[in-house]
Chains A and B, each alone.
Chain A
Amino acid sequence: MPMYQVKPTSQGDIKIDLPTCMYKLPNIHAQPGSSCAEYPLQNGEVDPALKALEARQDEIMRKLYELKAAIDGLAKTVTTPDADMDVTTLSQTTTVPSFTGTADLDALLGKDLGALRDIVINANPASPPLSLLVLHGLLCQSYRVLSTVHVHSSVSSVPPQLLSCLGPRHTDSYSRQRFQLGFTLIWKDVPKVQMKFSTQSMCPIEGEANVARFLFRLLGSEPKDPIVATQLDSWVDTAFFQLAEGGSKERAAVLRSLNSTLGRSIWLLGHEPSLADIACACCILQDSKALSTPANVQRWLQACRNLEHFHCITPLL
């Protein structure tokens, strides 16, 4: 490599009073230069073979780094399914300092007045809101959540797996005061998923997508970057409007675009799973005809299902 020459910053013949207890070496700085640096100076041009070798090495190193990143991502999900692929990893991208604790909830849900802050979700047993169940799993990891399932009188009977979809009862469930958050799921004859929180200061939130956004916000891990946030929103809309409610053509189109996105990265929004993955995966899983999914989507679906908080919806599929 041809390089420009600089004068040595220090003289090679500085007199130093060296101790005599050690053996002596010739001064390496005193030498005029390494043979490698001298080499191009001698004949003025670089050996092309050496150049090619260097390029190959760089290429190999780059590929190795890429592979390492990919393996790291997969290792969290595939090889160790019980790994904590949870909020802590989700929040790495956003770096929210006090992630758990009431301070966060106070800001989001209003001041704690001493009563349990109970989120009531009305859902139709004919179409269980899978994405909300996944989000419930995430909430449980960051807060003390009192989860209860009820059946409303407008529904005559509900399959047993829907009654146990929020997991086993908390051992402390006899004392409601000990929880930070209530998650009350009511199976009810409603056309759309409905969420009620504070009936006096807030209107009910309708539609699974909107409720999912609300719950995701409670995790404090929504992207701060406006572009990523917009992409996330767009994927959530795509999931609920085109995957869940769209016709077969629309679904196929979405699957194609999912496939190409997932060819470029492991998760929809880069290296970490997000609400976009939860929404899209749940909408595909909900539909039993999802057999003909493209390869990348298939791989990603499997990765999603390996995430711990997806386990709760497996019995419902």
Chain B
Amino acid sequence: MTKEQVKGSSAEEEEQQAAQSKKALKKQQKEAEKAAKKAEKQAKLTADQQTTEEDDFAQDRYGVCVMLQSQEKLDRSLVRVCELSPDKAGQTVWVRARIHTSRAKGKQCFLVLRQQQFNVQALVAVGERASKQMVKFAANITKESIVDVEAVVQKVEQKIESCSQQDVELHIQRLFVVSQAEPRLPLQLDDAVRPEVEGEEEGRATVNQDTRLDNRVIDLRTTTSQAIFRLQSGVCQLFRDTLTKKGFVEIQTPKIISAASEGGANVFTVSYFKTSAYLAQSPQLYKQMCICADFDKVFCVGPVFRAEDSNTHRHLTEFVGLDIEMAFNYHYHEVIDSITDTMVQIFKGLRDNFQSEIQTVCKQYPSEPFKFLEPTLRLEFTEAVTLLRSAGVEMGDEEDLSTPNEKLLGRLVKEKYDTDFYVLDKYPLAVRPFYTMPDPHNPKYSNSYDMFMRGEEILSGAQRVHDAQLLTERALHHGIDLEKIKSYIDSFRYGAPPHAGGGIGLERVTMLYLGLHNVRQTSMFPRDPKRLTP
């Protein structure tokens, strides 16, 4: 590559990403220049190498592998980077990892090899195993390339602070490139994990959200992203394990449905042969049908679609819903207890088994550790209203909580009870959907509840009306066309157990548990009104 070519291509990119900030542009330009210089050097180097190739004694100890097409099955065991510890000192091991950084210094070259969230320092030095050319080769491997190295594990005197394996380093004997990365990366991993500090320091680049999402594959390689999605997998796992232990059955519900399940607005219409269908907004209807079919306690994990054109930090158009529905004996608090206990088990599991992931995320996005009570604190809506009023908020008795009020309430509750998770019970009937069971003593209120994490709502649930006649009345009261929900009402005609339930969003729970500020950070490939790719 020549300088002109590189500049040309960078100019093209500039046009493409005209929307990006000037800063990013400048940074890109600089990087492009750097890359150009590097390329130039490399060109020189290859020329050098050609002239000196004949006297390279180590030439079969390094190089670029042919594309791996499973030509042969090597009986070679690879050691994971995370397993490199002082007790392996002196052993010769094979490691496959990415080049995180490389730094040449005279007759030696320091590499940082990365594997997932772990990294280790490696060293190629001119000696009896490595030639001058090999060091040069090592120094010129592009960042993010995947390499196989054979190396001796060596203890180090001083801890290597910048690496996760602080007590050892690798002395490389052989070095082969398995897959080469392009020299110019769309974003630098170091920039992507840099904590955002107030009053940004000069030259300290950070990567903005869109760049990250456009280049999600590279962004996901960062230690922070690795930790976030490992933790998210943990949430899902703990949700399943806890509920299975409680005797719940996991069900699968259809995502293409004939009628809008809730309200009717906010649904995606898809063409369905000669007619049209909708994408499921919530599996609620099917969960309830399973209860009527005597499954007693069910849960499901699956995508949920909302055609809401809201571009906020917490709305996605497609997200993963963790839904619970359960028949109860005498009081819907049995269901609240079950759900809150499940949440507490998840929080406990995360606290006890994912501490390193939480710490990693905290390094980039500092936040207070998530606090909770066991059993979970339950407050009633009227209490919340009183609390808010005493804090100077003016609101009516039957008014729903606005988002800022929810946040304020979260702060007030945290101040008194020091918990980031609580349940608000007994919402006014007027602000809940038609299938919500009214309170037996006060017709203004209902047997419904919301759950909050760090002052943001994560679950909304209720005891459902399980009586076809009352359901009809409630639907009429809400002005809903009975024809459209006929099949829903009909499912309660043949005897239905009293039941209640609710659903949480996986992305929101992960975001709020970690104290992140955007749900896109916890969705691997987020979908919002403005983004459909990647």
Q: Which residues of A contact B (CB under 8 A)?
A: 113-116, 118, 120, 122, 148, 150-154, 156, 174, 176-177, 184, 186, 188, 196, 198-200
| Chain A residues with CB under 8 A of B244 | none
| Chain B residues with CB under 8 A of A151 | 373-374
Report the bound CA distance from A151 to B390 in whole Å.
Answer: 28
Q: Check A154–B371 contact: CB distance below 8 A.
A: yes
* Stretch in contact with the other chain, from B61-69, B283-291, B375-383: B375-383
| Chain B residues with CB under 8 A of A200 | 390-391, 412
Report the bound CA distance from A118 to B370 in whole Å.
Answer: 23
Q: Check A153–B390 contact: CB distance below 8 A.
A: no
Report the bound CA distance from A137 to B383 in whole Å.
Answer: 25
Set A150, A174, A177: member contacting B382, Cβ < 8 A: A177
Q: Check A150–B371 contact: CB distance below 8 A.
A: no
Q: Check A177–B380 contact: CB distance below 8 A.
A: yes
Report the bound CA distance from A122 to B415 in whole Å.
Answer: 12
Interface string of B340-372 (1 = CB under 8 A from A): 000000011001100000000000000001111
Among B331, B374, B378, B387: residue with most chain A CB under 10 A: B374
Report the bound CA distance from A114 to B415 in whole Å.
Answer: 20
Q: Check B333–A174 contact: CB distance below 8 A.
A: yes
With contacts A174-B333, A176-B380, A186-B418 taken as known, whether A153 is within 8 angstroms of B372 at the C-beta atoms is yes
Q: Is B389 an interface position by the 8 A CB rule?
A: yes
The 10 A-B pairs with the shortest beta carbon distances in the complex, nearest first, are: A115-B386, A150-B373, A115-B383, A199-B415, A151-B374, A113-B386, A153-B372, A199-B416, A153-B371, A176-B380
| Chain A residues with CB under 8 A of B417 | 120, 184, 186
| Chain A residues with CB under 8 A of B371 | 152-154
| Chain B residues with CB under 8 A of A118 | 416
| Chain B residues with CB under 8 A of A153 | 347-348, 351, 369-374
Report the bound CA distance from A177 to B372 in whole Å.
Answer: 23
Report the bound CA distance from A188 to B374 in whole Å.
Answer: 11
Which residue of A is nearest B386, CB measured?
A115
| Chain A residues with CB under 8 A of B347 | 153
Q: Check A174–B331 contact: CB distance below 8 A.
A: yes
Which residue of A is nearest B330, CB measured?
A174
Q: Check B382–A152 contact: CB distance below 8 A.
A: no
Q: Check A113–B389 contact: CB distance below 8 A.
A: yes
B441 CB to nearest chain A CB (Å): 8
Report the bound CA distance from A153 to B421 in whole Å.
Answer: 11
With contacts A113-B386, A115-B386, A153-B351 taken as known, whether A176 is within 8 angstroms of B379 at the C-beta atoms is yes
Report the bound CA distance from A178 to B410 in whole Å.
Answer: 24
Q: Check B418–A188 contact: CB distance below 8 A.
A: yes
Given contacts A152-B372, A153-B373, 12 further A-B contacts (CB under 8 A): A113-B389, A116-B383, A120-B417, A150-B373, A152-B418, A153-B369, A176-B379, A176-B383, A186-B417, A186-B418, A199-B415, A199-B416
Report the bound CA distance from A281 to B331 in whole Å.
Answer: 42
Report the bound CA distance from A115 to B383 in whole Å.
Answer: 5
24 A-B Cβ contacts within 8 A? A113-B389, A113-B390, A114-B386, A115-B382, A115-B386, A115-B387, A116-B380, A122-B418, A148-B375, A151-B373, A151-B374, A152-B372, A152-B418, A153-B347, A153-B370, A153-B371, A154-B371, A174-B331, A176-B379, A177-B380, A177-B382, A196-B415, A199-B412, A200-B390
Report the bound CA distance from A118 to B375 in whole Å.
Answer: 16
| Chain A residues with CB under 8 A of B379 | 176
| Chain B residues with CB under 8 A of A198 | 390
A272 CB to nearest chain B CB (Å): 35
| Chain A residues with CB under 8 A of B374 | 150-151, 153
Q: Check B373–A186 contact: CB distance below 8 A.
A: yes
Report the bound CA distance from A199 to B409 in whole Å.
Answer: 12
Report the bound CA distance from A156 to B386 in whole Å.
Answer: 33
| Chain B residues with CB under 8 A of A115 | 382-383, 386-387
Report the bound CA distance from A227 to B95 in whole Å.
Answer: 81
Report the bound CA distance from A199 to B375 in whole Å.
Answer: 22
Which residue of A is nearest B347, CB measured?
A153
| Chain A residues with CB under 8 A of B416 | 118, 120, 196, 199
Interface string of B416-454 (1 = CB under 8 A from A): 111100000000000000000000000000000000000
Which residue of A is nearest B417, CB measured?
A120
